[in-house]
Amino acid sequence: MKIIKRNGQEMVFDNGKIHNAIFKANNSIDDITKRLTDEQIDLITDEVSKECNSMGRAVGVEEIQDFVEKAIMKQGAYDVAKNYITYRYIRQLARQVNTTDKQIFSLIDCQNEEVKQENSNKNPTINSVQRDYMAGEVSKDLTKRFLLPEKIWNAHSEGLIHFHDADYFAQRMHNCDLVNLEDMLQNGTVISNTLIEKPHSFSTACNIATQIVAQVASSQYGGQSISLAHLAPFVDVSRQKIKKDVMQELMEVCDVVDMKKVDEITERRVRQEINRGVQTIQYQVITLMTTNGQAPFVTEFLYLGEAKNEREREDLALIIEETLKQRYDGVKNEKGVAITPAFPKIIYVLEESNIHPESKYYYLTELAAKCTAKRLVPDYISEKKMLELKVDKLGHGHCYTCMGCRSFLTPYVDENGNPKYYGRFNQGVVTINLVDVALSSHKNLKDFWKIFDERLELCHEALRNRHERLKGTTSDVAPILWQHGALARLKPGEKIDKLLYGGYSTISLGYAGLWEMVYYMTGSKLTEPEGKEFGLEVMRKLNEYTKKWKTAENIDYSLYGTPLESTTYKFAKCLQRRFGIIEGVTDKNYITNSYHVHVTEPIDAFSKLKLESEFQALSPGGAISYVEVPNMQDNIEAVLQVIKYIYDHIMYAELNTKSDYCQVCGYDGEIKIVEDKDGKLIWECPNCHNRDQTKMNVARRTCGYIGSQFWNQGRTAEIRDRVLHL
């Protein structure tokens, strides 16, 4: 068994240290009649050791000390317990002199287990990642001591709420956005003080797009989305240029130029250029590294409906086809074997022109299904359902992309009544732990709603702090964002404040653990009538709050189905520490993302999507549903059936499969999760039993996007526990 020290370092559990601490506290009592006997000390040590072992995960030092306190008092040795508590308090005061040094040194030495696996797309051994994490520790320390009210930080630390991305809060940075690539390509931009003019070919446009993405990603902390429709006009720019060159070449060798031949050669070369351009995006995105030490968290939006005319639509179809083909092929690792990359994330829109076998672009959907079965992407948006759910103030429905990790902007029209999505952003997220609300109420419904109200006001105050932190920010802090078109064209020195109001940007109230909350309060599952109705009631209440705040403040608060990554483990540990192990509620080392059906619940794919569609409709700030599937590469027809069901029933969904490779033996099946002798979950090749994570490639979708750098123990347990839905 392992423990996690206060600096994040993982160590082997040693019950001798527990025994020694109790022994010292015991000997500090002058009255020997009030001391523990040696047998009692041994009994307490054994009891605490067993309790730690029963947790099924690495236990924190503070948790162990809590267990010791309770065990001493259980023996009636209250003076010993008092001295032990006093000693803990004195040590706590000493540690508060400096809150960051030990954390930073454990990061440098790659010994901080919690931070090492905080982000499944960051390699913690790389200097740039360590540098980002070090800066993050300092930022969190400043946030804790100076920038946030104490009650909010305490609520965050105790797991009542989660103040997302506290490691970036000091820098006045926002979360994620939809890059206005169209404006930047058509009207020019500036990158690193260099003027970038409108490109004269598709391949150049693709190259500029990747440079824009890298710059934008280095100026914020969330994901960014781009539309391939914004690249489509440059295909015809290349076509006209290529056609002119072909005609000139043929005129030099032929007396009469065959225009049909000209068109054939031109289209062949156009496809070659599209191939090169798409390859540029794919390879540059995964090989570029932003200032935070990871590849840009970029999403590509594949939507034929965004094309402005038939020519653009045909060219966009060519780009989409090439994008799906290249993702299907994968990228080569250092061994030269094609593997599944984490980025770019791909979203494919299902629409009437591609959803039916007789549809003109159905071949693209078939290709998307093959790609999903092998490489986990694309994700799918139903145009039909989105037009129903995303309705603006004029009553018009719209279809548009989400940001990187499922966050959706709300519909927005400008002063001329024109819809606007690109150039907009999210200010940040604060998540409420619904499981803690339920457990704190002890099943008393009146107390539940009282605590619910109190926690939401706490979230509201935390969100206001995010908003106020961004207010007063000048465009100079990130010229690529605010001055040169990615999000705006503000003047140097101009504040971004006007973009924080009126719905131009959003700010997200997240929620987590609906499944466990419902089960504890009602005794029914979310899949059962009573549980479902209570879950929907809570969701409606959450929306009432965001609507009330929005109306009062002209800030676009929106309810967001949080994609917990490391936080799923944090919340679970906090709940276990506060309430102990409760079957079906706190007996796992993770809690359920947003409204999802629990990963262990037997349910078929179609029933799951149908049920979750009702909850997704109540998460306007973003949500995604998924179905867990086995290897479907030989059953593409079944994948297409699920895709068709998504189109008819739910706005945004994905299929989760596996895509792994063992570099030791060449095994390309599923890498398994096993327990080592200390109870820690580790990844193991079932063929050669390789357990070295540096010698295997594992890709899993955990939060709506693919991770490839492994996960903390809570998320790893969740991945292990997943049941198949198909």
Separation in Å, CA 292 to CA 131, 383, 688: 8, 34, 35
Per-residue confidence (pLDDT) for residue 238, from 0 to 100: 98
Q: Is the pLDDT of residue 120 over 50?
A: no
Q: What is the mean pLDDT of residues 435-449?
A: 98
Per-residue confidence (pLDDT) for residue 74, from 0 to 100: 87
Per-residue confidence (pLDDT) for residue 447, from 0 to 100: 98
Separation in Å, CA 436 to CA 162, 375, 652, 721: 12, 37, 28, 22
Q: What is the mean pLDDT of residues 174-198?
A: 96
Taking the C-alpha atoms of residue 622 and residue 508, their distance in angstroms, rounded to an integer, is 9
The catalytic site residues sit at 175-176, 403, 405, 407, 426, 560, 565, 704
Over the chain, what is the mean pLDDT?
90
Per-residue confidence (pLDDT) for residue 126, from 0 to 100: 62
Q: What is the mean pLDDT of residues 74-94?
A: 74
Helix, strand, coil tally for the chain in percent (to 5) = 50, 15, 35
Q: Is the pLDDT of residue 106 over 60?
A: no
The region of weakest confidence among 280-289, 403-412, 582-591, 624-633 is 280-289
Confidence bin at 516 (pLDDT 50/70/90): very high
For the chain, domain boundaries? 2-97, 151-174+427-592, 177-383
Q: What is the mean pLDDT of residues 317-345?
A: 91
Per residue in 339-367, pLDDT (tens digit) is 888 889 999 999 999 999 999 999 999 99
Q: Is the pLDDT of residue 336 over 60?
A: yes
Give the rounded distance of the alpha carbon of 184 from its chain centre: 27
Taking the C-alpha atoms of residue 415 and residue 288, their distance in angstroms, rounded to an integer, is 38
Q: What is the mean pLDDT of residues 665-677?
A: 91
The CATH architecture that domain 177-383 belongs to is Alpha-Beta Barrel (3.20)
Per-residue confidence (pLDDT) for residue 28, from 0 to 100: 86
Per-residue confidence (pLDDT) for residue 274, from 0 to 100: 98
Q: What is the mean pLDDT of residues 527-545?
A: 98
How far from each other are the two terminal CA atoms of the chain, in whole angstroms? 36
